Each structure stands twice: as C-alpha cells, then as structure tokens.
Structure 1
Amino acid sequence: MAMEVLVLPHDPAWRDMFLAESRLILSALGQNALAAHHIGSTAIPCIVAKPVIDMLVVVK
C-alpha cells in the first residue's frame, strides 16, 4: 500500500510556530531546560518540507 507524503513550499510561519511551542515547553520545564532548537526541514528556508515542526530540547 502506497503512503502519500505531503510536502509544501517553505512557510515563514513555521518559525513562529516553533517559537510559540518552544516557549511553552521551556516554561513547563523551568530551570531543567537549557535550550530549544528548531531542526528538520521546516527550519531550512527555500526548501520544500513536510509541514511538521521538529524541535530538539536540551535539558539538564
């Protein structure tokens, strides 16, 4: 069975979505959180990407 994969042109709103979600996560983790990084294809301007925001959260 073939599975469809949706890819879209880069959307600058993906950065804003990452920032909003990372603020919530960092706030919830408090002092245990060191950083949040936007990773994956949505973090790279000018390429097509699956519309899924990937992030890496660094904790103590």
Structure 2
Amino acid sequence: MEAYVRWFAEQERFYQLMLCAIVLFGVTVAATGAVTANVVLLGLGICWLLGGGALTVVLANRDPESG
C-alpha cells in the first residue's frame, strides 16, 4: 500500500486531480446504480472506475520524450 501512496504523491498535480475525480465520479455513479437497481448506471460506474483509472495510470507513466 505504501508503494501506491508514494506513486500517487510523485505524480503531477493534474494527474492527482484527474484520478481523484475519476474515483469520485465512478463510485458515485456505481453507488447510485446499486441503490436504484439501475444496471446501466452500475455498469457505467464500474467501467468508469476501471477504464478511467487505467487510462490515468498509462498517461501519467508515459515517456514525455516519446511525443
């Protein structure tokens, strides 16, 4: 867990904010879908968490010299 916290702290402020926003939005949508029994919202929230989080990690770790 300490390695993940260290990785997060080393990222630029933009990626920190983007990852926090993705997690907050994804959890909110997934929780709304679970509470209202709306499968579409639940699926959208889960996909947002998995896809958005992974995309942020890839973008944050890309080599800035590669273009």
Is TM more than 0.5 here? no
Instruction: Write 1 or 2 for the structure with the bigger share of strand.
Output: 1
Q: What is the TM-score with the length of structure 2 in the denominator? A: 0.39
Instruction: Write 1 or 2 for the structure with the bigger share of helix.
Output: 2
